[in-house]
Amino acid sequence: DAGVTQSPTHLIKTRGQHVTLRCSPISGHKSVSWYQQVLGQGPQFIFQYYEKEERGRGNFPDRFSARQFPNYSSELNVNALLLGDSALYLCASSQYGQGETQYFGPGTRLLVL
């Protein structure tokens, strides 16, 4: 079975632009979570979605938004990009529930110039 897939793999944007990152979960998984990993740090939680509803949000500004589609894939949108948004964006899929293992995709490396 295919693992978590993300696209694109790399992206270069300039300040003020908008970006959309995409994620397809493992077949059978209905929950998708997004994390931001800045170089040299551990991943930081951005969002969790389950059955197309937001189930959790981390400490990120409103410039960050996401949605989940009926096929459980998800998009992460970031508006008005800042230099500090440069990071590896990781998507994870899981069964829904406390303590369920989250399986991560390869990530999207975003560079904001």
Partner 1 sequence: AQKVTQAQTEISVVEKEDVTLDCVYETRDTTYYLFWYKQPPSGELVFLIRRNSFDEQNEISGRYSWNFQKSTSSFNFTITASQVVDSAVYFCALSEALENGNKLVFGAGTILRVKS
The residues of the shown chain that bind partner 1, judged by CB under 8 A, are 31, 33, 35, 41-45, 48, 50, 55-56, 58, 88, 90, 92, 96-107, 109
Residue 78 bridge partners (DSSP): 19, 64
The least distance separating partner 1 from the CB of residue 44, rounded to whole angstroms, comes to 8
Q: DSSP characters for 68-85?
A: E-TTS-EEEEE-S--GGG
> Which residue, 41 or 71, is less far from partner 1 as judged by CB?
41
> Which residue, 19 or 90, is less far from partner 1 as judged by CB?
90
> Which residue, 3 or 16, is less far from partner 1 as judged by CB?
3
The least distance separating partner 1 from the CB of residue 26, rounded to whole angstroms, comes to 11
The least distance separating partner 1 from the CB of residue 28, rounded to whole angstroms, comes to 16
The least distance separating partner 1 from the CB of residue 76, rounded to whole angstroms, comes to 15
The 8 Å CB, 24+ separation contacts for 60-66 are 60/36, 66/34
